[in-house]
Amino acid sequence: MVGKAPLNPKDDRRMSQLLAGSPKNWGRWGPDDEIGALNFLTSAEILRGARAIRQGKVITCGELIGSPTGDPIFPGRAQPQRANTQDHGSYQAGKKTPLPGGIQYADDQITMFLQGSTQYDALGHVWYDDQLWNGYPASETIGGMKKASIQPIAERGVVGRGVLLDMAAARGKFALEKGDTVTLDDLLAAAKKQGVTIEKHDILCLRIGFLQLLHTQGPEKFYADFNEPGLIYSPELVDWFHKMEIPALCTDTISNEMDFDPENGMQVTLHCALMRNLGILFNEICNFEALAKDCHEDGQWDFLYVGAPLKVHQGTGSPLNVVAIK
């Protein structure tokens, strides 16, 4: 547990040591569960979310795929590549024959990482100690995720009451920048400032604003010393997510958290504490610009959140376009 002997930076079991006393939802929904905290989103919770529809507004929160200024992408992953395989030019060049009736059509294909745009991580996407969500062995990931893949989440769909907190605005900024941390106190203070109550089983959406800087700063500056601003690990934060039974954490950053913990230097600690241990769904690379603007204007920070990832067999994640309905 934290606060005991300092963690040795060369020790491969540091995450295990840090999270030794951290809460786990393993087994809570049986030995075969693959959707984790989405189990909290019962019919009653979906109806509670539907009660946030008060104006008939629909706002989508997906990032543009194939943006002319580059897509936000975790370092080491390639940009999505979309290319036409045929179009009007193919017919003009005589490479394609129109269909009977003189019909022509355009086709294209895309090569991208399943985590390469607005997306959900499958619960088995990140692990330590050779165990995934619910205790499945890490060997289940080899060649395709046999356990805790995105498919069961896609079959279920993700619907509930969403609440947006504009963490950048709460700090008087357009966007949080590298080095800016977000703690539990920051979350609660932002909610208070916005006049919104985070209720048990809410889908928590955080606007950090950082990804907008990719388009204004350019990729070189944006990716230099890559360490996104955002949530940082604390036992209190993890306990709060656990107690509030939060089904999903959604942000407009690539990792949903500060990549490297400022105290211990470990990477993606919250993927381990929240996703792997509590089964909380991670929705990353959202674009909350339009939603935040609308919430600032009308003062309504809750909405029905709808997310439908693709049913990718054995996928480690899936792109999706999140829909917020007010």
Binding mask 74-93 for ligand UVW (x = CB under 6 A): x-------------------
Cβ pair 118, 324 in contact under 8 A: no
Note whether 271 binds ligand UVW by CB under 6 A. yes
Shortest reach from residue 64's CB to ligand UVW, in Å? 18
Shortest reach from residue 81's CB to ligand UVW, in Å? 18
Binding mask 153-192 for ligand UVW (x = CB under 6 A): ----------------------------------------
Note whether 261 binds ligand UVW by CB under 6 A. no
SS3 of 128-180: the string is ECCECHHHCEHHHHCCCCCCCCCHHHHHHCEEEEEEEEEHHHHCCCCCCCCCC
Shortest reach from residue 171's CB to ligand UVW, in Å? 23
Q: How many residues bind ligand UVW (CB under 6 A)?
A: 10
Of the candidate residues 228, 261, 284, 302, the single one contacting ligand UVW (CB under 6 A) = 284
* Cβ nearer to ligand UVW, comparing 147 with 276: 276
* Cβ nearer to ligand UVW, comparing 261 with 294: 261
Shortest reach from residue 284's CB to ligand UVW, in Å? 5
Note whether 149 binds ligand UVW by CB under 6 A. no
In whole angstroms, what is the distance from residue 194 CA to residue 300 CA? 9
* Cβ nearer to ligand UVW, comparing 121 with 261: 121
Note whether 194 binds ligand UVW by CB under 6 A. no
Of the candidate residues 151, 212, 255, 318, the single one contacting ligand UVW (CB under 6 A) = 255
* 131 bridge partner residues: 128, 137
Shortest reach from residue 237's CB to ligand UVW, in Å? 18
Of the candidate residues 168, 211, 213, 268, the single one contacting ligand UVW (CB under 6 A) = 268
* Cβ nearer to ligand UVW, comparing 133 with 301: 133
Note whether 254 binds ligand UVW by CB under 6 A. yes
Binding mask 107-146 for ligand UVW (x = CB under 6 A): --------x-----x---xx--------------------
- Contact positions vs ligand UVW (CB under 6 A): 74, 115, 121, 125-126, 254-255, 268, 271, 284
